Every structure is written in C-alpha cells, then in structure tokens.
C-alpha cells in the first residue's frame, strides 16, 4: 500500500520527482528498498548502478508502468498514475516505424492524441511545429527520410524530437546512447546538454557508463544492492548509496581528463559496483542538498 502521507522532505513547487521510503517487491523478492529521492525542477540527474540493481524498475515506476509496493512516489506533487505525456521517454532502441518518415514520426503523438477530424484541421499548424522541433535537433533536412536511411545517431535525434514536441515536464532516458559508436555518443552528449540548457527541462537519464554519468549530470545518483544497514537475515533490495551534486554548469569534453573527474568516477565505481565494499548507511555519500534518508532505529545500528 502506497502511503501518500510520507512527504517530510517534499517542497511544493520545487521537487518534480519525489519518493520517500519507497519499496518495490515482486513476490517475496525486494528489488528496491527504501528509495528516498528528491529531484528539483531543471536538474539533469544521471542514474548508475550494477546490473540487476533495479534501475529500469525505478524508471518504470516513475513512468507509471508499475506501482510501488509501499512508500510515497510523486511527480509534480501528485501520486504517479498511468503513463501520460507529462513524462516523456527515450529508450536505447529507437522504436521507429519503418514505414513512417521522420516528419510523420514527430507528428505521431498528435495522431494518437487528436481525433482524425481535428488532426486534419490542425495539420498545417502541427507540421510547422514539428519542423521547429526537427530544426532544434538538426534533423529538418531529413524530414522525408525513412529510418532505414538514417544513422543510429540520427534515429535517436528523431526519437528525442518525437518526445519533446509533446512538452513533457520530465524527460526520461533509458541508456539512450548505449548502442552508439564513441564519436556519435559524444556528439549526442553535447547535443543533449545544449538542449537541456535551452529548454531548462528536468532530465532523468539512466546509463551504465560512469564517465557519461559524471559528464552529463548536474547530479549523479548511485543505486546499489551492495551496502549494510544493520538489519540481520534480511534480503535487501537496492537503495540510493550515493547522491552527488556536480553543479548545473555545462562541462567541456576535456573535463573528462581532469583528476577530479577521475576521482568522482572511482568513487561511484567503489560505492556502487564493488560487492565486498559494504558501506553502512551512515557512511553513504550524500552530497546533494536534496538528498535525504529515512531510516529506522534498527537500520541506523552498526
């Protein structure tokens, strides 16, 4: 049962995403355990963690594709319901239809949203709007091409434009660059940072690449099942073990070569990905001003 009364750290008008003491179970297995998370409007949050820690589960909860087993989960101050246009999603696999052109893909959301008659009446205006978004993602010259005529990076830009035109309050991205070559990946990293700076939207970005997480994120969240919270004989699910504040300024690519960047990457690798590094909850790295933990007395004990 979700408890909507748990809002001790929630700030109305500030926090776009908020969860407190939220858990997710499948049968007797706990996947996510006491997730405490607050994301301020306009943040670019990157999420990392070892395979099987529940990153995709958390994303599905935020989208409303699944329901939390307990605790609080809010988007814009409201309990998360079924998926809606306020939460846009871009996946690693672009999901483009082979028979639709680039322009038709960007218009697709309106085809589903409007009646056939209303779409017909508004089509000229909608095409103009779609072209504005294609220009924003630098794909306006490819509007009549089909997915088979596009590179992986170009297909990802189309998927992003398709999501942005619906004006989501939160853009969620699930390892969107995982299948791209290094050159295209860096190009799209710069592109999404430019888009974030321009739109001021809130982005929640899952990646398995620690360097990508540190480079893109204004905040980096480390999710892990490797920790100690004092409970005995307890099959723990993953929880947030690291919450870093990296600032909102856009970073140049050469920051990746700095010593500080390398230290941050190593911190995440140690805290989140090392099975024998079972740090206690009292020692979690919680640097972000929005970070908090709701712990029982038992969990606080070493």
* Each residue's pLDDT tens digit, 200-255: 999 999 999 999 999 999 999 999 999 988 776 567 899 999 999 999 998 889 99
| DSSP-derived 3-state class of residue 131 | helix
pLDDT at 107: 95
pLDDT at 106: 95
Confidence of residue 2 (pLDDT cuts 50, 70, 90): very low
How far are the Cα atoms of 170, 272, 275, 297, 298 from residue 302, in angstroms, in the given order? 38, 19, 18, 10, 9
Q: What integer is the mean pLDDT of 144-159? A: 92
List, for residues 61-89, the tens digit of each pLDDT value. Answer: 999 999 999 999 999 999 998 888 889 99
In whole angstroms, give the CA distance from residue 267 to residue 106. 40
Beta bridge partners of 219: 45, 245
- pLDDT of 1 higher than 70: no
Residues with Cβ < 8 Å from 128, sequence gap 6 or more? none
Do 80 and 19 meet the contact criterion of CB atoms below 8 Å apart? no
Summary mean pLDDT of the chain: 90
Q: What integer is the mean pLDDT of 120-145? A: 94
In whole angstroms, give the CA distance from residue 32 to residue 164. 29
More confident residue, 58 or 301: 58
Confidence of residue 5 (pLDDT cuts 50, 70, 90): low
């Amino acid at each position: 049962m979700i408890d909507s009364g748990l809002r001790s750290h929630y700030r109305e008008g500030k926090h776009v995403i908020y969860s407190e003491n939220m858990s997710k179970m499948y049968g007797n297995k706990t996947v996510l355990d006491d997730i405490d998370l607050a994301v301020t409007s306009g943040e670019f949050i990157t999420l990392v963690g070892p395979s099987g820690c529940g990153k995709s589960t958390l994303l599905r909860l935020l989208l409303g594709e699944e329901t939390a087993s307990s605790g609080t989960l809010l988007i814009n101050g409201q309990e998360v319901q079924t998926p809606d246009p306020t939460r846009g999603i871009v996946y690693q696999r672009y999901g483009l239809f082979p028979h639709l052109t680039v322009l038709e893909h960007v218009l697709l959301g309106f085809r589903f949203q409007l009646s056939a008659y209303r779409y017909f009446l508004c089509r000229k205006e909608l095409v103009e709007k779609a072209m504005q978004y294609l220009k924003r993602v630098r794909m306006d010259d490819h509007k009549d091409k089909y997915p088979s005529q596009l590179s992986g990076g170009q297909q990802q830009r189309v998927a992003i434009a398709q999501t942005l035109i619906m004006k989501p309050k939160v853009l969620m991205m699930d390892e969107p660059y995982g299948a791209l070559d290094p050159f295209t990946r860096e190009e799209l990293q710069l592109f999404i940072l430019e888009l974030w700076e321009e739109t001021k939207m809130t982005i929640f970005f899952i990646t398995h690449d620690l360097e990508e997480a540190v480079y893109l994120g204004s905040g980096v969240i480390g999710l892990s099942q490797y920790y100690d919270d004092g409970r005995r004989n307890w099959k723990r699910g993953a929880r947030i073990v690291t919450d870093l504040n990296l600032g909102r300024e856009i970073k140049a690519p050469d920051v990746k070569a700095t010593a500080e960047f390398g230290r941050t990457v190593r911190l995440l690798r140690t805290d989140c990905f090392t099975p024998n590094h079972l740090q206690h909850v009292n020692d979690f790295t919680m640097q972000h001003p929005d970070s908090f933990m709701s712990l029982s007395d038992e969990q606080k004990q070493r």
